[in-house]
Amino acid sequence: MTAPAPDSPPVDRPTLNLDLDAAEANLSKVSAADIVAWSFETFGDRALLTTSFGVQAAVMLHLVTQVRTHVPVVFIDTGFHFQETYRFADELTKRLKLNLHVYSPPVSPSWFVARHGPMWESNNPDDLNRYDELRKVEPMQRALAEHDPLAVFAGLRKQQTNHRANLRHVEFQDGRYKVSPILRWTTKDVHQYLKAHDLPYHPLHDQGYASVGDWHSTRPITAGEDERAGRFNGLKQECGLHLPTSAAEDASRVSADL
């Protein structure tokens, strides 16, 4: 999709002004599938789904596309994913007939390393956040600008991080709504859904990976470790895509110990 010319008039994006607390009171009592259905009733075709093709990605991809087959699915290709992730993406795209849109950073992986070095090896969270900003957040912001959705589905779960534990099923972040249908689900719930619908985990799941990101900063976890401990050596929990970007809301980074 071609972006509007710089001198084009601004797009008139309607706002719904949802009462988030009232929405939460209702959505906290219904199923994930009902939340997805409510979302399409509320936002119509102005909703899209993001995916990392991570360990449990098949859950959200299946759950949402069962309700709206051709919903846009956005994947950020950092250029540093595992080969298994790319093959998993191809498998799920074909099986679920995904309407997949892939966005990449403007700088290739090799050129990025030539400019910045292996930023992921830093023990400074600021360097890790900067890496995420350049390789993940920038292309995601570009994708959102082009599709201009009112709402974005995300497979966030309270069990995953400190920040996510405090989320509601629908939040308003950076000018649009974020809907998390499986927010209340446990790891057991995820497993039962995958089994019930004969859906696969990411191939690296069987090698001890509980969460899969870029190859250089993801490792298997050991018994007793948090499922996000295998990312960036446990120095940060969030990749930046699910944190507010406005200065006024930046305190969430502190509360999440990032």
Query: Is the model's pLDDT at 38 over the cut of 50?
Result: yes
Which residue numbers are catalytic? 239
Indicate the average pLDDT of the chain.
85
State in Å, rounded, how far the first CA of the chain is from the last one: 35
Residue-level pLDDT at 163 = 84
CA distance 104 to 78: 6
Least confident range from 15-24, 69-78, 103-112: namely: 15-24
Residue-level pLDDT at 15 = 57
What's the one-letter identity of residue 106? P
Least confident range from 16-30, 56-70, 208-222: namely: 208-222
CB 150 within 8 A of CB 41: no
Query: Is the model's pLDDT at 250 over the cut of 50?
Result: no
Query: Is the model's pLDDT at 2 over the cut of 80?
Result: no
Kindly give the pairing relationship between strand 151-153 and strand 170-173: unpaired
Query: Is the model's pLDDT at 12 over the cut of 80?
Result: no
Long-range own/partner contacts, residues 218-225 (CB < 8 A, 24 or more apart): 218/82
Residue-level pLDDT at 220 = 85
Q: Which two three-digit tokens encode residue 256?
A: 């999440």
Domains and CATH numbers, the chain: 20-251 (3.40.50.620)
Residue-level pLDDT at 160 = 79
Residue-level pLDDT at 17 = 87
pLDDT by residue (tens digit) across 95-119? Answer: 999 999 999 999 999 999 999 999 9
CB 51 within 8 A of CB 60: yes
Q: Which two three-digit tokens encode residue 70?
A: 């051709």
Residue-level pLDDT at 227 = 65
Which residue, 38, 48, 170, 150, is CA-closest to 98? 48
Which residue, 189, 181, 231, 192, is CA-closest to 54? 231
Contacts of 31 (CB under 8 A, 6+ apart): none
- Quickly count: other Cβ atoms within 10 Å of residue 213's Cβ: 23
Query: Is the model's pLDDT at 246 over the cut of 90?
Result: no
pTM for the full model?
A: 0.80
Burial class (CB in 10 A: 0-12, 13-18, 19+), 163: buried
CA distance 147 to 127: 29
Residue-level pLDDT at 174 = 84
Query: Is the model's pLDDT at 222 over the cut of 50?
Result: yes
Please state the rounded mean pLDDT for residues 71-82: 97
Least confident range from 4-13, 69-78, 126-135, 193-202: namely: 4-13
Q: Which two three-digit tokens encode residue 94?
A: 């074909």
- Quickly count: other Cβ atoms within 10 Å of residue 1's Cβ: 8
Split at pLDDT 50, 70, 90, the class of 89 is: very high
